């Protein structure tokens, strides 16, 4: 992608707190709105996922696997890697324990744009060489025990051949602009990976609080709960492959709101149509193990 075409697709913006971020002109969306990329990545994904604690408790022979779905300008991935490197430096984690970070992205234009503005974005300072290696070769090793791989292509249409993850950062563009990434088929394909025999405990964090998206996740098989606040969002969403991994699982009070919501229809196919939930889908929803007993 040429410099001119990539720069025409994005622009730098100044956030309310003074930090810089990126706005996609095509999608009409600003990334990390309300806070800076590093703060949102830490609050929404790294801290909420208890990444440091879980890495300390990881004693398996297999690598600890992270899926970074929606690499974007790499804020989530870099923040996670920095935490892991700090643990190694402080010797709070065995340096021999390997970590695999699998980043998925349909287009790396935004990351290429971010690299050209690394000084203004700040969080990319010092990461330029690693990111260029990732873009050029599809892999990089930010530390001896960390393997970072880039998977190019449409995540909603390609097989997920990376090992089953313990952590998923789910951060594509919004359902309004990128509905195929939030539909039942996509969440179901991910559920099949984390619900296979021998798969590790897995949690998935994302920024939405949409009733429709939460219904879609549940109907795909996931257990779903209320996530932390970050930036301008009072609540977000966290999902898991086991109910006891959630601090605040959605409950009967939330189910009652689903019945009266005008935006509770699960997302199917490649359309994002707003509407109430059908009687058939509601029957499937209340039969989910999360709401039984």
- Angle at the Cα of 41 from the Cα atoms of 153 and 216, rounded to 5 degrees: 60
pLDDT score of 5 more than 80: no
Q: In which band, very low, low, confident or very high, does the pLDDT at 274 lie, cut at 50, 70 and 90?
A: confident
How far does Cα 290 stand from its chain's mean position? 22
What DSSP designation does 187 have?
H
In tens, the pLDDT along 121-137 reads 888 999 999 999 999 99
How many CA atoms lie within 13 Å of 224's alpha carbon, on the beta-carbon side? 29
pLDDT score of 68 more than 90: yes
Rounded CA-CA distance 252/233 in Å is 23
User: Which tokens sit at 265?
Assistant: 């229809």
For residues 198 and 97, the model is more confident at 198
- CA of 75: how far to CAs of 63, 222, 265, in Å? 22, 26, 31
Mean pLDDT, rounded, of the chain = 90
Helix and strand totals (H; E) in the chain? 11, 11
* Superfamily grouping for domain 36-291: Vaccinia Virus protein VP39 (3.40.50.150)
In tens, the pLDDT along 206-260 reads 999 999 999 999 999 999 999 998 877 889 999 999 999 999 999 999 999 999 9
- Angle at the Cα of 85 from the Cα atoms of 22 and 230, rounded to 5 degrees: 40
């Amino acid at each position: 992608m040429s410099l001119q075409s990539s720069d025409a697709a994005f622009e730098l913006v100044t956030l309310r707190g003074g930090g810089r971020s990126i706005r996609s002109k095509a999608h009409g969306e600003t990334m990390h709105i309300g806070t800076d990329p590093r703060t949102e990545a830490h609050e929404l994904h790294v801290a909420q996922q208890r990444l440091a604690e879980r890495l300390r408790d990881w004693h398996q022979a297999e690598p600890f696997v992270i899926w970074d779905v929606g690499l974007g300008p790499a804020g989530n991935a870099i923040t996670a890697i920095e935490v892991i490197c700090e643990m190694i430096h402080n010797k709070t984690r065995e340096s021999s324990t390997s970590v695999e970070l699998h980043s998925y992205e349909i287009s790396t234009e935004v990351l290429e744009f971010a690299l050209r503005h690394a000084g203004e974005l700040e969080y990319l300072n010092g990461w330029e060489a690693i990111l260029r290696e990732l873009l050029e070769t599809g892999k990089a090793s930010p530390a001896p025990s960390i393997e970072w791989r880039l998977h190019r292509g449409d995540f909603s249409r390609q097989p997920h051949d990376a090992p089953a993850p313990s952590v998923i950062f789910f951060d594509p563009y919004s359902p309004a602009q990128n509905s195929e990434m939030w539909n039942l088929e996509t969440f179901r394909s991910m559920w099949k990976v984390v619900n296979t025999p021998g798969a590790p405990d897995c949690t998935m964090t994302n920024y939405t609080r949409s009733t429709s998206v939460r219904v879609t996740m549940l109907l795909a098989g996931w257990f779903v709960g209320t996530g932390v606040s970050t930036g301008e969002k009072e609540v977000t969403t966290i999902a898991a492959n086991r109910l006891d991994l959630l601090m605040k699982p959605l409950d009967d009070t939330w189910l009652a709101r689903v019945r009266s919501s005008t935006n509770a229809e699960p997302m199917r196919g490649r359309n994002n149509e707003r509407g109430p939930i059908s009687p058939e889908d509601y029957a499937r929803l209340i039969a989910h193990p999360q709401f039984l007993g």
